[in-house]
Amino acid sequence: MGATRTAAGATAAATATATGTAAGATLKDATAIAGIGQTPFAKRLPESEKTLACRAILAALDDAGIAPSEVDAFASYTMEETDEVEVAKAIGAGDVTFFSKVGYGGGGSCATVAHLAAAIATGQASVGVAWRSRKRGSGPRPWTNTRAQLPTPAQWTRPYGLLRPADEIGLLARRYMHEYGATRDHFFNVALACRNRANQNPAAIMYDRPLTREMYMTARWISEPLCLFDNCLETDGALACVVVSAERARDCRQRPVYVHSAAQGLPAQHHGMVNYWNDDPLTGPSWTAARRLWKTADFGPQDVDVAQIYDAFTPLIPLSLEGYGFCGRGEGAAFTEGGALEIGGRLPLNTGGGGLSEAYVHGFNLITEGVRQLRGTGTAQVPGATTCLVTAGEGVPTSALLMRS
């Protein structure tokens, strides 16, 4: 199956390459992720974010078999403290002809790959690197930030005690539960699926820490209705991936993982981290990104073998399942029942452990895990997986990728 699907992917890629930059050109399979790299994940790492970034990027280039001097494009997303000037200089990149930084923190993860893919497909660059380096395990916490100037939108939320993202998502989660009968057991299904996968992944922070329903139900509250296990892990660590043309990728060390479709999403009348002021706050940016994502894809949600869905908080999963079309409106919680998100289930989820149980590095580990699944090298491998959805932060202006082998 793998060989057949690879041939199909290669054919599609060749077609896309042949059409090149002509009018009507598409991103579809024109580029591929050829290398991935990461540092260890830990609550605390001694090295600086810049050092960690360089380690991850060099590991990704080594994985691809591409020399650092060939890198001519960089993409990152905001809240990244290591900028492309420093990184390019440190790793010994050549002349850089494309760089971009996507806004809205965790919503930008997938867009970095999309920007590189667009740049390479249109001839603006040939070897692109996207990365994330983060020391939040030992870094600043939102609830210690008192004196800093409040960002303008926060005048409507923060003084009232919506201090942390968990508080903002908790407000949406409560309404979601009220409107659709979602329960804490549904959120537990999400937390458990991620934890079970982390228990198979030696690189995961929660590798040796199984989760039970009793632990979940008796855990301390963070922001009711969200408990400790509904929240991601603040982690130190860095990751990177290398994007090249599909043609080039076929000559690299690893099996190419094609960038099949990509989209960003900022819904009409959206507002920063939360959209309480939209007509319909329970349809977030994922809905907007999804419409574009599927429009330019050769397959639909029913054909996705494995999903890496941004999981800073468990309720984001049912909301995203609805947004990306895996089920109908209000059906996301029920979708998680019966082991649907486990290996062998309807939609295996966050197979490295995700932000909830592998590492919370603003979602970049979801991209690298998606690549591993399509290479067939996941620690919790979905047998024969050839298609993968990866999403960025829901709630904020977001982005998503469809990848195929």
Is residue 164 near other proteins by the rule CB under 8 A? yes
Residue of 77, 104, 324, 360 with catalytic role: 360
Residue 150 Cβ, how far from other proteins at the closest point, in Å? Answer: 5
Under the criterion CB under 8 A, does residue 146 sit at the interface with other proteins? yes
Q: Could you confirm whether 276 is annotated as catalytic?
A: no
Q: Is 141 in the site for other proteins (CB under 8 A)?
A: yes
Rounded to the nearest whole angstrom, what is the least distance from the CB of residue 40 to other proteins in the complex? 26
HSE-CB of 126 using CA atoms within 13 angstroms: 10
Contact status: 144 vs other proteins (CB under 8 A): yes
Among 14, 90, 154, 215, binds other proteins (CB under 8 A): 154
| Binding of other proteins by 234 (CB under 8 A) | no
- Assess contact for 362 and 79: CB atoms under 8 A: yes
Q: What is the DSSP letter of 101?
A: E
| Cα 369 to Cα 115, 281, 297, distances in angstroms | 19, 30, 21
Nearest to 355 by CA among 102, 134, 172, 144: 134
CB 191 within 8 A of CB 230: yes
Q: Does 251 bind other proteins (CB under 8 A)?
A: no
- Angle among Cα 27, 33, 34 to the nearest 5 degrees reads 135
For the chain, the first-to-last Cα distance in angstroms comes to 11
Contact with other proteins (CB under 8 A) among 31, 39, 112, 157: 157
159 binds other proteins (CB under 8 A): yes
Contact criterion met (CB below 8 Å) for 74 and 96: yes
Query: Looking at 167, 236, 358, 369, which residue binds other proteins (CB under 8 A)?
Result: 167
Residues 81 and 84: their CA atoms lie apart, in Å, by 10
For residue 62, which phi and psi values (nearest 5 degrees)?
-65, -40
Residue span 279-318 as binding mask against other proteins, x where in contact by CB under 8 A, dash where not: x-x-------------------------------------
Sole binder of other proteins in the list 1, 3, 24, 152 (CB under 8 A): 152
Residues recognised as catalytic: 310, 360
Chain residues binding other proteins by CB under 8 A are 141, 143-144, 146-147, 149-150, 152-164, 166-167, 170-172, 174-175, 178, 220-225, 269, 271, 276-277, 279, 281
